[in-house]
C-alpha cells in the first residue's frame, strides 16, 4: 500500500471529450481477416469502420500491433517502431488513422512499457554481458543460496526470475519468461520510452491504454513476499507516481489525448492517486476489484464496489466501466445469463455499464451478446497464461482433466475467439483457417442477424450510446444507489441539475416485486429504454433480467 497522501480535491471536474466517450476495444487479431491468413488485421478494422460508426462509439482501443514474436499475443514487443506483419504496415496504419478521423472517431493505442519481448534488440544487448551499456535497462540480480533472488511468482510463471547462463545472473519478469521487465530506474531507458511515445502521438493517435502501468516501480531491495501468490507486491510501489508524473510532463501534457491506465491491485484510495485531476498523471483507469477479484456475479459486492469507487473519485477523478475485455471472459457468460435469457441479460449488463458513473468500454462482440466458449481440449487453447498454469499444475501430478476443467471458465481465450460477422463459415471472420477456433454458436449470434433485428442487443447498445450523446446526466450526473443490500435488484439514480434518471435492474431468473418504483410513480411515459415490452400489469414488477431506464 502506498503511504496515504492527502486525497486530491478539485472543486469542479472539468468537461472533456474523453469523459463523454464510449470506447470500443478491438482485439484486431480476432476482429476481421482480409488476407485469408487466419489472423485479423488493420485493413479488416478499416473495412468495419462504418459498422462501428453505426453503433455510435467514439474511441477505438486497438490491442498492440507493434512487432512481436506473439508469445503473449502482442504484449511481448520486439520493436516499438515497427508494425507486426500479420497486422499490416504503416500504409494501412496511416489509412486507418485517416478513415477513423474522417468519421469523427479517435484511436488509442495499447502502450506496453513495463516489459518487452526477450527478442527485443535492447534485451539481446542487455543479456550479452554485464558491461553492456543496456545491461541496466533490465533488472538483473545474483541468485541467493543457489536459487532465485526472492520468492516472487509472476502472473504467468511460478517464479518471476529466469536464470541466464551467459552472465550467471537472473533477470526479472512480471509475466512470461519471454517478457523481461524494463528497469524504470534507468533514466536513459525512460527517455527512450518517451521518445517512442511521441513518435506514435505525432502520427496522430489520440491517446494510450497503458498496460499494467502501476507495475513500473519495483519494491526496493526485492524482499521476499509474505504470500507470493497475491502478486500485489508487483504494483503500486514507492516511486510509481514520480514515473507517471514525469511521463505526463515529458509527453502527455503536450497533446490533446486520452490516457487510461490498467491498474490492478488498487481500491479507490490508491486509484485516485493515479487519476486525480490535479495529480497530472493519468486521465482514467481500469481497476480490477470486479474483473480479477469477483469470479462470478455477486450483486451486493458489485454495489459496494461501485459505491466505494464513486465516493472515492467524486470531485477528484474519473472512472472507467467494463465487465469484460481480451483478458476476461465474456460478461454475459461470466456475470449474466448466456442461456434462456441471453438477450435480456446482455442488454441489462449493457444498460448497467452505460448508466453507472464512468467511461463505458464495449469489448468487440459484446454489442451482439457473444458468449464464452468451451473447447474440448487444452490443444484448442492459445492463451500463454492458461497453458503455463495447466503445465504447472499437471507437472505437480494433478489429473489433467480436472486441471483443464478448472481453468476453462476464466481462460482469456473465452474472449479471443473470432468476431461473428455472419452465419457463413468461420462466422465471416476469415476465408482461411482461424488462428483460434470459432465459437460454434456463431450461426445464431452474428452481426448480420443483429442488424436485421430491430430488437437485437446491437440496437439496444446503439440507443444507449445515442442517449449518452444527448444527455449529460449519463456522463456528469451524480450517482445514488437506492437498493441497499438487495441481492437481485439494483436501483439507482443519476442526477444533473434538474434532470434525474432512474435505472431499475433485476439480475435474476425470477420476476421480482419492486416497490421502489411506486415511490417514484414511474409512469410509462417516463420510460426512456427497456429490454422488455411495456406491460401495465408489470408496472411495479421486474421480469427476469429486466432493465428499465426512466426519466423521473
Query: Residues in the site for ligand ISL, rule: CB under 6 A?
Result: 72, 75, 112, 155, 175, 211-212, 262, 264, 292, 326-328, 412
Residue 333 Cβ vs ligand ISL, minimum distance, rounded to whole Å:
15
Closest to ligand ISL by CB, 176 vs 457, is 176
Closest to ligand ISL by CB, 327 vs 344, is 327
What does the chain come to in residues?
552
> What string of H, E and C letters represents the secondary structure of 412-477?
HHHHCCCCCCCCCHHHHCCCCCCCCCCCHHHHCCCHHHHHCCCCCHHHHHHHHHHHHHHCCHHHHC
Determine which one of 67, 178, 262, 366 is catalytic. Answer: 262
Closest to ligand ISL by CB, 118 vs 327, is 327
Whole-angstrom Cα distance, residue 532 to residue 542?
Answer: 10
- The closest alpha carbon to 120, from 141, 137, 140, 108, belongs to 137
Contact present, 26 and 364 (Cβ < 8 Å): yes
Contact present, 455 and 422 (Cβ < 8 Å): no
State yes or no: is 188 an active-site residue: no
Residue 319, CB half-sphere, CA atoms under 13 Å: how many?
A: 31
State yes or no: is 181 an active-site residue: no
Residue 267, CB half-sphere, CA atoms under 13 Å: how many?
A: 10
Summary count for the chain: helices (H), strands (E) = 16, 20
Residue 212 Cβ vs ligand ISL, minimum distance, rounded to whole Å:
5
Q: Tell me which DSSP letter residue 13 carries.
A: P
Residue 114 Cβ vs ligand ISL, minimum distance, rounded to whole Å:
7
Beta-bridge partners for 360: 321
Residue 385 Cβ vs ligand ISL, minimum distance, rounded to whole Å:
6
Whole-angstrom Cα distance, residue 136 to residue 448?
Answer: 53
Closest to ligand ISL by CB, 326 vs 548, is 326
Residue 28 Cβ vs ligand ISL, minimum distance, rounded to whole Å:
13
> What string of H, E and C letters represents the secondary structure of 179-210?
CCEECCCCHHHHHHHHHHHHHHHCCCCCEEEE
Bridge-based pairing of strands 161-164 and 66-67 is unpaired
Closest to ligand ISL by CB, 46 vs 112, is 112
Residue 226 Cβ vs ligand ISL, minimum distance, rounded to whole Å:
20
Closest to ligand ISL by CB, 72 vs 277, is 72
Radius of gyration of the chain (CA): 23
Whole-angstrom Cα distance, residue 303 to residue 318?
Answer: 18
Residue 383 Cβ vs ligand ISL, minimum distance, rounded to whole Å:
9
- The closest alpha carbon to 323, from 269, 276, 372, belongs to 372
Closest to ligand ISL by CB, 212 vs 359, is 212
Closest to ligand ISL by CB, 287 vs 354, is 287
Distance of CA 333 to the CA centre of its chain: 17
> What string of H, E and C letters represents the secondary structure of 133-155?
CCHHHECEECCECCECCCCCCEC
Determine which one of 211, 289, 344, 546 is catalytic. Answer: 211
Residue 418 Cβ vs ligand ISL, minimum distance, rounded to whole Å:
17
Whole-angstrom Cα distance, residue 269 to residue 233?
Answer: 17
User: Which residues are designated catalytic?
Assistant: 211, 262
Amino acid at each position: 500500500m502506498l503511504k496515504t497522501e492527502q486525497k486530491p480535491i478539485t472543486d469542479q471536474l472539468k468537461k472533456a471529450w474523453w469523459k463523454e466517450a464510449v470506447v470500443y476495444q478491438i482485439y484486431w487479431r480476432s476482429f476481421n481477416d482480409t488476407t485469408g491468413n487466419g489472423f485479423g488485421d488493420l485493413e479488416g478494422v478499416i473495412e468495419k469502420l462504418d459498422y462501428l460508426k453505426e453503433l455510435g462509439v467514439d474511441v477505438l482501443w486497438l490491442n498492440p500491433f507493434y512487432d512481436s514474436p506473439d508469445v503473449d499475443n502482442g504484449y511481448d514487443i520486439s520493436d516499438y517502431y515497427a508494425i507486426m506483419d500479420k497486422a499490416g504496415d504503416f500504409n494501412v496504419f496511416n489509412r486507418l488513422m485517416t478513415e477513423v478521423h474522417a468519421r469523427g472517431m479517435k484511436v488509442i493505442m495499447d502502450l506496453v512499457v513495463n516489459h518487452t519481448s526477450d527478442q527485443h534488440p535492447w534485451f539481446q544487448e542487455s543479456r550479452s554481458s554485464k558491461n553492456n551499456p543496456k545491461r541496466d535497462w533490465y533488472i538483473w540480480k545474483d541468485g541467493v543460496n543457489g536459487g532465485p533472488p526472492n520468492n516472487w511468482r509472476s502472473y504467468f510463471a511460478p517464479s518471476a526470475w529466469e536464470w541466464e547462463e551467459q552472465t550467471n545472473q537472473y533477470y526479472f519478469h512480471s509475466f512470461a519468461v519471454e517478457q523481461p521487465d524494463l528497469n524504470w530506474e534507468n533514466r536513459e531507458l525512460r527517455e527512450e520510452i518517451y521518445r517512442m511515445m511521441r513518435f506514435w502521438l505525432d502520427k496522430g493517435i489520440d491517446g494510450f491504454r497503458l498496460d499494467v502501468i502501476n507495475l513500473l516501480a519495483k519494491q526496493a531491495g526485492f524482499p521476499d513476499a509474505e504470500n507470493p501468490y497475491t502478486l500485489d507486491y508487483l504494483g503500486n510501489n514507492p516511486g510509481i507516481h514520480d514515473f507517471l508524473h514525469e511521463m505526463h510532463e515529458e509527453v502527455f501534457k503536450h497533446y490533446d489525448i486520452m490516457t487510461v491506465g490498467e491498474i490492478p491491485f488498487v481500491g479507490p484510495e490508491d486509484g485516485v492517486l493515479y487519476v486525480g485531476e490535479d495529480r497530472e498523471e493519468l486521465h482514467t483507469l481500469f481497476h480490477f476489484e470486479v474483473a480479477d477479484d469477483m469470479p462470478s456475479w455477486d450483486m451486493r459486492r458489485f454495489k459496494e464496489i461501485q459505491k466505494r469507487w464513486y465516493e472515492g473519485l467524486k470531485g477528484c477523478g474519473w472512472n472507467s466501466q467494463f465487465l469484460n475485455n481480451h483478458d476476461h471472459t465474456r460478461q454475459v457468460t461470466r456475470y449474466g445469463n448466456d442461456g434462456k435469457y441471453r438477450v435480456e441479460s446482455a442488454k441489462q449488463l449493457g444498460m448497467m455499464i452505460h448508466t453507472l458513473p464512468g467511461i463505458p468500454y464495449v469489448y468487440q462482440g459484446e454489442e451482439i451478446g457473444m458468449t464464452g466458449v468451451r473447447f474440448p481440449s487444452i490443444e484448442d487453447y492459445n492463451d500463454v497464461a492458461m497453458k503455463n498454469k495447466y503445465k504447472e499444475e499437471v507437472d505437480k501430478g494433478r489429473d489433467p482433466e480436472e486441471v483443464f476443467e478448472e481453468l476453462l471458465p476464466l481462460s482469456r481465450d473465452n474472449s479471443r475467439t473470432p468476431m461473428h460477422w455472419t452465419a457463413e463459415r468461420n462466422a465471416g471472420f476469415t476465408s482461411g483457417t482461424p488462428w483460434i477456433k470459432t465459437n460454434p454458436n456463431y450461426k445464431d449470434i452474428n452481426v448480420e442477424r443483429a442488424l436485421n433485428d430491430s430488437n437485437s442487443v446491437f440496437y439496444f447498445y446503439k440507443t444507449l450510446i445515442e442517449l449518452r450523446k444527448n444527455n449529460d446526466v449519463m456522463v456528469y450526473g451524480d450517482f445514488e444507489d437506492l437498493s441497499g443490500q438487495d441481492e437481485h435488484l439494483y436501483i439507482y439514480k443519476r442526477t444533473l441539475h434538474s434532470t434525474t434518471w432512474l435505472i431499475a435492474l433485476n439480475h435474476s431468473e425470477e420476476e421480482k416485486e419492486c416497490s421502489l418504483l411506486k415511490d417514484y410513480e414511474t409512469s410509462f411515459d417516463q420510460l426512456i429504454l427497456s429490454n422488455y415490452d411495456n406491460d401495465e400489469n408489470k408496472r411495479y414488477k421486474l421480469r427476469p433480467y429486466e432493465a428499465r431506464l426512466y426519466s423521473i
